[in-house]
Amino acid sequence: MEVVIRQHEQQCGVTAADIVADAVLSGATTLGLATGSSPLSVYRALIRRHRQGGLSFAAAQAFLLDEYVGLPPSHPQSYAHVIRAEFTDHVDIDSERVHSPNGVADDIFVAAREYDALIADVGPVDVQLLGIGGNGHIGFNEPGSSLGSRTRVKTLTEQTRHDNARFFSGVDEVPRHVITQGLGTICDARHLVLIATGSHKAEAVAAAVEGPLTASCPASVLQLHPHVTVVVDDAAAAHLKNADFYRYALKYKPAQQKY
Ligand code: GLP
């Protein structure tokens, strides 16, 4: 696991965007996208690079990590809508090739299995962006999620509903159920890039990177993956015991990865 510590959120965004851009320029075509506040600086940097020229997503397809049950893609807080507004509408990716779980399917349990099968069919995901919840969740895999889980319907914890209430008019509006890629599904991606900024993420980052491998901190599953980059700002790195070591570690060279 490579841990990159940058001073500010915006620098974290540029670092993570460089990783995605290098992958795309090296032939990566399948991107895993995340929502929430954490990846916004990454999307802004990618949009900038696209507008400056030389970075095209025309050959790319993308898979979202998760979706709220009951919110159609037209709902402003559905993740299908958010990813369009924040990223995909601003680059040249084919919108038909931006996939997300169907949270309004007649049978959401079948929809979850079909989404998993689609990723397996046309994947693997080359680069997967991830944020992390304050309780260590990735995607919507709340504490207690099986470390080998596949895409499925999950129930949100009250903490996550409260954390996400800022996007809605109140906590009562936050759906209780979601469809999320499982931890096993996420770990099928070839390169995982987790971005976390701010002191409110420091504890979860330390638990994920340096804590025990445990379903109580779903993000600790990253410790099992062969290629993970964790990009954090100083505030989110504050509880890392080995921060100095990470600062001096040799950096991974993107050109070594072939897609
Ligand atoms: C949500 C999303 C996650 C995201 C997490 C953290 O629950 N499902 O994918 O990583 O929130 O969000 P934020 O980046 O806004 O702190």
| Domain CATH code at residue 106 | 3.40.50.1360
Count of domains for the chain: 1
Nearest ligand 1 atom, CA 130: 10
Going from the Cα of 223 to the center of ligand 1, the distance in angstroms, rounded, reads 19
**Tens of pLDDT, residues 47-58:** 999 999 989 999
Going from the Cα of 93 to the center of ligand 1, the distance in angstroms, rounded, reads 23
User: 68 CB under 6 A from ligand 1?
Assistant: no
Q: Is the preceding peptide bond at 76 cis, omega within 30 degrees of 0?
A: no
Average pLDDT estimate for 5-30: 96
Average pLDDT estimate for 155-166: 94
Residue type, 17: A
Q: Which helix (H) or strand (E) holds 4?
A: strand 2-6
Going from the Cα of 24 to the center of ligand 1, the distance in angstroms, rounded, reads 24
Residue 76's CB: how many other CB atoms inside 10 A?
A: 10
Residue 237 placed within a domain: yes
User: 103 CB under 6 A from ligand 1?
Assistant: no
**Tens of pLDDT, residues 64-107:** 999 999 999 999 999 999 999 999 999 999 999 999 999 999 99
Q: What is the pLDDT of residue 257?
A: 64
Alpha-carbon gap, residue 71 to 182, rounded angstroms? 20
The predicted model scores a pTM of 0.96
Q: What is the pLDDT of residue 247?
A: 85
User: 182 CB under 6 A from ligand 1?
Assistant: no
**Tens of pLDDT, residues 144-159:** 999 999 999 999 999 9
Q: Residue 251: pLDDT above 90?
A: no
- Report residue 80 CA to chain centroid gap: 14
Residue 56 placed within a domain: yes
Best probe residue, ligand 1, of 12, 38, 197 (max atoms within 8 Å of C-beta): 38
Going from the Cα of 160 to the center of ligand 1, the distance in angstroms, rounded, reads 9
Angle among Cα 127, 186, 45 to the nearest 5 degrees reads: 35
The residue to which tokens 């804590």 are assigned: 211
User: 220 CB under 6 A from ligand 1?
Assistant: no
The residue to which tokens 């959401």 are assigned: 108
Residue 258 placed within a domain: no
Best probe residue, ligand 1, of 33, 37, 43 (max atoms within 8 Å of C-beta): 37
Average pLDDT estimate for 170-179: 97
**Tens of pLDDT, residues 109-139:** 999 999 999 999 999 999 999 999 999 999 9
Q: What is the pLDDT of residue 252?
A: 61
CA nearest to 189, candidates 240, 144, 130: 130
**Tens of pLDDT, residues 177-222:** 999 999 999 999 999 999 999 999 999 999 999 999 999 999 999 9
Going from the Cα of 256 to the center of ligand 1, the distance in angstroms, rounded, reads 30
Residue 257 placed within a domain: no
Residue 259 placed within a domain: no
Q: What is the pLDDT of residue 256?
A: 56
Residue 181 near residue 65, CB atoms below 8 Å: yes
Q: Residue 240: pLDDT above 80?
A: yes
The two structure tokens encoding residue 45: 């940097």
Q: Residue 253: pLDDT above 70?
A: no
Best probe residue, ligand 1, of 132, 185, 203 (max atoms within 8 Å of C-beta): 132
Residue 16 placed within a domain: yes
Q: What is the pLDDT of residue 254?
A: 54
Q: Residue 259: pLDDT above 80?
A: no
User: 126 CB under 6 A from ligand 1?
Assistant: no
Give Cβ neighbours of residue 88 (< 8 Å, ≥ 6 apart).
Answer: 33, 62, 95, 98
User: 34 CB under 6 A from ligand 1?
Assistant: yes
Q: Identify the domain containing residue 214 by its residue range.
A: 2-252
